[in-house]
Amino acid sequence: MLDIFLLGTGGMMPLPGRWLSSMLLRHEGALALVDCGEGTQVPMKQAGWGFKAVDYIFFTHCHADHIAGLPGLALTIGNAGKETPLDLYGPPGLRRVAESLLVLCPDLPFDVRVAELPMSGEAAEEATAAGFPLFGSFMFGYMPADHGMPCVSYRFSVRRRGEFFPNRARALNIPVRHWRTLQLGVPVTLEDGREIEPGMVTGPERKGVSVCYCTDSRPTARMPEFFKNTDLLVCEGLYGDDAQQQNAAGKRHMVFGEAARLASEAGAGELWLTHYSPAMPNPHDYIEAATTRFANSICGRDLMAKTLSFREV
Note the pLDDT tens digit of each residue in 39-86: 999 999 999 999 999 999 999 999 999 999 999 999 999 999 999 999
Where exactly are the structural domains of the chain?
2-161+205-308, 166-198
Superfamily, domain 2-161+205-308? Ribonuclease Z/Hydroxyacylglutathione hydrolase-like (3.60.15.10)
241 annotated active-site: no
Query: Is residue 205 very low, low, confident or very high in pLDDT (cuts 50, 70, 90)?
Result: confident
Note the pLDDT tens digit of each residue in 238-294: 999 999 999 999 999 999 999 999 999 999 999 999 999 999 999 999 999 999 999
- Active-site entry in 65, 216, 231, 302: 65
Query: Is residue 92 very low, low, confident or very high in pLDDT (cuts 50, 70, 90)?
Result: very high
pTM: 0.90
In the chain, what percentage of residues exceed pLDDT 90?
Answer: 80
Query: Is 80 exceeded by the pLDDT of residue 313?
Result: no
Phi, psi of 16 (to 5 degrees): -55, 120
Query: Is 70 exceeded by the pLDDT of residue 159?
Result: yes
